[in-house]
């Protein structure tokens, strides 16, 4: 069976063990990256395709008659046309819960950096301000304790619950958002988003990007938040209306934001949020998931997906 990996470099392969993948009865062709113009040629006679961020759309699928399985080393499935895949009899599988520990600690790195004004105080040391101080410490940047504050979470999967667990250790109250047209079968404390936003000191997003959640946080939602509140997004960039967020930060309508995702990645040609004039904003380059342990678990799930498929089963199927 012939398999193709379209964008192996996006997995950071240098520190991963691929032996279990290569031990499968699959003849692999591995590409570091794949321009859109070359996808059709590269998967033309493949039966198995692994793609992380390289798009496989309906037109591409129609020119891959031998394709039987697409396995995604990611939870998001937006790079594949799932309807077209189903119509063509192509099984699509993804990965789940592989990066929980990595993402949760990244969320808290952002929260802690913002609440302690870590970057500002570090700069105060490096630029000589501390050395010139008449006192033993610097005090000019506000620091807030987390104990007693309220964390709002949108999305109650493993990531949202993992973030909530750490919040409770800090002595925070946790409330989850109840989104419209969602059936919640758990007993978690929930409020409708418009009721939740005025109450939270920190809002952290952990929901998937869907037509219903695109632009979930825009001007109206930001206006409901406290001026002292923080917004954290390690999910998907388009959940937030970026121009609205920039305006809210510049005008002081919220106190800060920590983002690991943007509307377009990488931000070729820039992004309006990548601007030193925007205060109290930390942006990291979609790196919350990249702990070595997380990526190795991801590869393990890819092996499991393919092994199950070869045995006539479907593991983590999404279509």
Does 131 share its domain with 207?
Answer: yes
Full residue range of the structural domain in which residue 160 is found: 100-283
Number of neighbours of residue 269 by Cβ within 10 angstroms = 6
Would you give the distance in Å from CA 104 to the centre of its chain?
11
Does 146 share its domain with 92?
Answer: no
Query: Is residue 158 situated within a structural domain?
Result: yes
Query: Is residue 259 situated within a structural domain?
Result: yes
Does 85 share its domain with 182?
Answer: no
Q: Specify the number of domains making up the chain.
A: 2
Pair of tokens at residue 300: 């393990």
pLDDT digits (tens, 9 = 90+) for 245-259: 999 999 999 999 999
Does 73 share its domain with 204?
Answer: no
Task: Say what angle helices 100-115 and 292-310 make with each other, to 10 degrees.
Answer: 150
- For the ranges 55-69, 177-191, 208-222, 278-292, the lowest mean pLDDT is seen at 177-191
Residue with the two structure tokens 């954290």? 232
Burial, 34: exposed, middle or buried (Cβ in 10 Å; 0-12, 13-18, 19+)?
buried
Does 93 share its domain with 110?
Answer: no
Query: Is residue 316 situated within a structural domain?
Result: no
Does 88 share its domain with 106?
Answer: no
Does 46 share its domain with 90?
Answer: yes
Query: Is residue 318 situated within a structural domain?
Result: no
Instruction: Quickly count helices (H) and strands (E) in the chain.
Output: 11, 12
Dihedral, 185, 191, 196, 200 alpha carbons, nearest 10? -70
Q: Return the CATH number at 190.
A: 3.40.50.720
Residues annotated catalytic, as ranges: 236, 265, 286
Dihedral, 219, 157, 284, 290 alpha carbons, nearest 10? -160
pLDDT digits (tens, 9 = 90+) for 104-141: 999 999 999 999 999 999 999 999 999 999 999 999 99
Does 275 share its domain with 297?
Answer: no
Does 109 share its domain with 232?
Answer: yes
Does 105 share its domain with 80?
Answer: no
- What's the full length of the chain, in residues? 319
pLDDT digits (tens, 9 = 90+) for 205-217: 999 888 899 999 9
Does 92 share its domain with 189?
Answer: no
Query: Is residue 228 situated within a structural domain?
Result: yes
Pair of tokens at residue 299: 């590869």
| Among 8, 5, 14, 23, CA closest to 310 | 23
Is it the case that residue 190 has pLDDT exceeding 70? yes
Whole-angstrom distance, CA of residue 36 vs CA of residue 305: 25
Residue with the two structure tokens 């205060």? 279
Query: Is residue 160 situated within a structural domain?
Result: yes
Does 30 share its domain with 125?
Answer: no
Confidence of residue 185 (pLDDT cuts 50, 70, 90): low
Query: Is residue 221 situated within a structural domain?
Result: yes
| Strands across the sheet containing 69-71 | 27-30, 2-5, 48-50, 69-71, 91-93
Stated as kind and residue range, the H or E segment containing 101 is helix 100-115
């Amino acid at each position: 069976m012939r398999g193709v990996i379209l964008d192996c470099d996006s997995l950071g392969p240098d520190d991963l063990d691929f032996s279990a993948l290569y031990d499968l009865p699959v003849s692999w062709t591995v590409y570091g990256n794949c321009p859109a113009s070359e996808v059709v040629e590269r998967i033309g006679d493949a039966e198995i395709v692994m793609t992380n961020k390289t798009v496989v759309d309906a037109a591409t699928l129609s020119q891959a008659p031998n394709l039987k399985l697409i396995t995604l080393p990611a939870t998001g499935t937006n790079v594949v046309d799932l309807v077209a895949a189903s119509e063509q009899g192509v099984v699509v599988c993804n990965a789940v819960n592989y990066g929980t520990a990595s993402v949760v600690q990244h969320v808290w790195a952002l929260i802690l950096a913002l609440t302690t004004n870590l970057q500002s105080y570090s700069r105060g040391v490096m630029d000589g301000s501390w050395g010139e101080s008449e006192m033993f410490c610097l005090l000019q940047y506000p620091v807030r304790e987390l104990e007693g504050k309220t964390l709002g979470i949108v999305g109650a999967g493993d990531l949202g619950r993992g973030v909530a667990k750490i919040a409770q250790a800090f002595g925070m109250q946790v409330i989850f958002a109840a989104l419209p047209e969602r059936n919640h079968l758990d007993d978690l404390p929930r409020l409708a988003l418009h009721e939740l936003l005025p109450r939270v000191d920190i809002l952290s997003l952990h929901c998937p990007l869907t037509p219903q959640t695109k632009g979930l946080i825009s001007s109206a939602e930001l206006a409901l938040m406290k001026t002292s509140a923080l917004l954290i997004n390690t999910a998907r960039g388009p959940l937030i209306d970026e121009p609205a967020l920039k305006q809210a930060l510049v005008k002081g309508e919220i106190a800060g934001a920590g983002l690991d995702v943007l509307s377009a990645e990488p931000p070729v040609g820039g992004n309006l949020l990548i601007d030193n004039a925007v205060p109290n904003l930390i942006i990291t380059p979609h790196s919350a998931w990249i702990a070595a342990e997380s990526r190795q678990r991801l590869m393990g799930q890819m092996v499991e997906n393919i092994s199950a498929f070869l045995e006539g089963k479907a593991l983590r199927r999404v279509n």
